[in-house]
Amino acid sequence: MHETNISEATLSELSGKLRAAGLRTTKQRLALADLLFSGGNRHITAEILHAEARANGLAVSQATIYNTLNQFHEAGLLREVIVEQGRSYFDTNLSDHHHFYIESESRLIDIDNQDIAISDLPQTPAGFEPAGVDVIIRLRHK
Amino acid sequence: MHETNISEATLSELSGKLRAAGLRTTKQRLALADLLFSGGNRHITAEILHAEARANGLAVSQATIYNTLNQFHEAGLLREVIVEQGRSYFDTNLSDHHHFYIESESRLIDIDNQDIAISDLPQTPAGFEPAGVDVIIRLRHK
DNA sequence: AGGTAATTTAGAATTATTCTAAATAAATTA
DNA sequence: TAATTTATTTAGAATAATTCTAAATTACCT
Ligand SMILES: [Mn+2]
Ligand SMILES: [Mn+2]
Ligand SMILES: [Zn+2]
Ligand SMILES: [Zn+2]
């Protein structure tokens, strides 16, 4: 039995992910990576991740939650999604996609790249190049 | 001579705008409205507006800057643009348009609706309706 | 195992924004 | 116009997400 309830296979997979990112495989990072990457894709805030970690019995500080999310983001393991003032969402879905955002529920829904077409892109201002295109369709209850 | 340096014509135009929004025409609102609406369109933060107001000799508190931006926004005189974590931009351009965002300069550039085409919009989730579509093209130095 | 550098952490600090409650100013009424 | 009512402004406190600091702990390498 482990300190955590991560399966042997998942554990070595997650370890590899951390190593590849140049990050040491600590108990905290493994457990957070498991929460983030072992299920389906997720859109998650620091607050939610912290709550989930604690609910799963992991003693982890707020600082580590933020450090880890930022390190994973810098390493390209997470994408940051900015849709509301004040707090950041982190997205485990690294594919080229866009979002619906339901403000009343603070919820993001993926829009596959194939399900949207942006054409006639305007000329990029001289000296700059596109670093990413974010499409956010804000939704309200009908 | 006025307490402010707003022209007679502009003044009555701005007063009308405030009245139409159900807001009293105060010295502060008139001066801020002049900064916001009397030149070309702008993308502005609370901090920048406050600095400009003070630079123009208007004694106005931080609270009033925030109150005014929020009231103008609620009244539909300003659009809010969220592109970075932490702070909001307010946009005087109410036409249907999108944005380039130069993160290194904290600068927004308008993309006219005619210069971009979003087609094949995905089906909106049941029970919801689109409240707005934001396209942000993030730029970095080449 | 021992040495070194990375990581974690509690708690303080920071930043943008909102709130509170008292003073002031605008609008309305008499 | 004076009195009254209601909205606005404001200083300063409060809040909320995030980052920083510096000390303790842990991972990794030899
Ligand atoms: Mn980040
Ligand atoms: Mn607002
Ligand atoms: Zn997503
Ligand atoms: Zn704009």
DSSP A83-105: -SSS--EEES--SSEEEEEEGGG
- Closest nucleotide to A62 by C1' from CA: C9
Residue with the two structure tokens 């107001």: B53
Residues of A in contact with B46 (CB under 8 A): none
* Cα-based torsion angle of the residue sequence A20, A23, A25, A31 in order, rounded to the nearest 10 degrees: -100
CB contact under 8 A, B118 and A121: no
What separation in Å is there between the alpha carbon of B80 and the centre of ligand 2? 7
Neighbouring-strand partners of residue B44: B90
Over the stretch B114-140, which tens digit does the pLDDT of each residue have?
899 888 889 999 999 999 999 999 999
Using a 7 Å CB cutoff, list residues 41-100 of B near strand C.
45-47, 62-63, 66, 70, 86-88
What separation in Å is there between the alpha carbon of A65 and the centre of ligand 2? 29
H or E element, residue B137: strand B128-141
When pLDDT is cut at 50, 70 and 90, the band that residue A2 belongs to is: very low
d(CA B21, CA B119): 34
Residues 6+ apart with CB under 8 A from A46: A62, A65, A66, A69, A87, A88
Nearest residue for D21, CA–C1':
A63
Q: Is the pLDDT of residue A74 over 80?
A: yes
Over the stretch B66-92, which tens digit does the pLDDT of each residue have?
999 999 999 999 999 999 999 999 999
Nearest C-alpha neighbor of A135 from the set B105, B116, B90: B116
Residues of A in contact with B88 (CB under 8 A): 85
When pLDDT is cut at 50, 70 and 90, the band that residue A120 belongs to is: confident
d(CA B38, CA B67): 20
Residues 73-102 of chain A with CB under 8 A from chain B are: 80, 82-88, 100, 102
pLDDT of residue A47: 98
Nearest residue for C9, CA–C1':
A61
Say which DSSP state B115 is in. G
Partner A contacted by B124 (CB < 8 A): yes
Domain A8-81: top CATH class: mainly alpha
Q: Is the pLDDT of residue A3 over 90?
A: no
When pLDDT is cut at 50, 70 and 90, the band that residue B11 belongs to is: confident
Closest CB from A84, A128, A141 relative to B128: A141
Q: Is the pLDDT of residue B4 over 60?
A: no
CB contact under 8 A, B139 and A119: no
pLDDT of residue A4: 55
Q: Does any strand C atom come closer than 7 Å to the Cβ of A20?
A: no
d(CA B95, CA B133): 12
Over the stretch A6-49, which tens digit does the pLDDT of each residue have?
777 688 899 999 999 999 999 999 999 999 999 999 999 999 99
pLDDT of residue B7: 74
Give the residue on A whose Cα is nearest the Cα of B89.
Answer: A85
d(CA A89, CA B82): 13
Cβ atoms of B62 and B56 closer than 8 Å? no
pTM of the prediction? 0.92
Footprint of strand D on the protein (CB under 7 A): A 24-27, 45-47, 62-63, 66, 70, 86-88; B 23-24, 26-29, 59-64, 67-68, 85-86
Q: Is the pLDDT of residue B100 over 70?
A: yes
Q: Is the pLDDT of residue A95 over 50?
A: yes
